[in-house]
């Protein structure tokens, strides 16, 4: 999915190019995906579940989930309500996007997307919290172990 999003973000094609030819298989617009990720980051940072946020603004947790994934576009009025529920300005959700009319295509590296998405999960947040509890020297050693494990997984078996 991130490759598809990155390709669409990198192109300056017309708005319709963001939609699949078959209406039953519509792709999400890159801005909707970005806004959804910002929503997820802020919700997790606020220690709210999707259900709790939904209750604050009159949505089901499934709808919050669809907004966060970018599958459903958030209306202006709902974005306003969500911003109030999370105590942020509406503009918060657009931070990181190029200014309209700047001639820049929206460019979000897929790796950055993946990292942001992981850090917005409860597992990602717990991971960072636990790493930060370690003394600096032990953090460095832990990173070396993680790199070794990741490197071992990249090699084919038998090597």
Tens digit of pLDDT for each residue in 94-133?
887 877 776 665 555 455 567 777 777 788 888 888 888 9
- If asked whether residues 62 and 102 sit together in one domain, one would say yes
Write the pLDDT tens digit of every residue in 75-92: 999 999 999 999 999 999
Whether residues 95 and 62 fall in one domain: yes
Residues 150 and 87 in one domain: no
Are both 48 and 71 inside the same structural domain?
yes
Q: What is the pLDDT of residues 24-40, one digit of tens each?
A: 456 778 888 889 988 98
Element (H, E) at 137: helix 136-154
Domain range for 159 is 121-159
* One domain, residues 7 and 56: yes
CA distance 72 to 50: 15
Reading the block at residue 101, the tokens are: 């009319």
Residue 22: predicted pLDDT:
36
Looking at the structure of the chain, the number of domains it has is 2
């Amino acid at each position: 999915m991130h490759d598809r999003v990155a390709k669409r973000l990198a192109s300056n094609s017309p708005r319709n190019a963001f939609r699949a030819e078959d209406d039953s298989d519509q792709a999400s617009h890159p801005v909707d995906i970005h806004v959804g990720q910002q929503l997820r980051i802020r919700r997790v940072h606020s220690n709210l579940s999707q259900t709790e946020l939904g209750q604050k603004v009159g949505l089901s947790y499934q709808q919050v989930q669809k907004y966060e994934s970018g599958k459903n576009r958030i209306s202006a009025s709902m974005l306003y309500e969500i911003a109030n529920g999370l105590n942020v300005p509406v503009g918060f959700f657009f931070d990181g996007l190029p200014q309209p009319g700047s001639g820049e295509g929206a460019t979000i590296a897929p790796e950055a997307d993946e990292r942001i998405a992981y850090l917005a999960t409860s597992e990602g947040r717990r991971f960072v919290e636990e790493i930060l509890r370690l003394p600096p020297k032990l953090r460095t050693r832990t990173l070396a172990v993680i790199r070794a494990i990741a490197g071992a997984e990249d090699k084919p078996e038998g090597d």
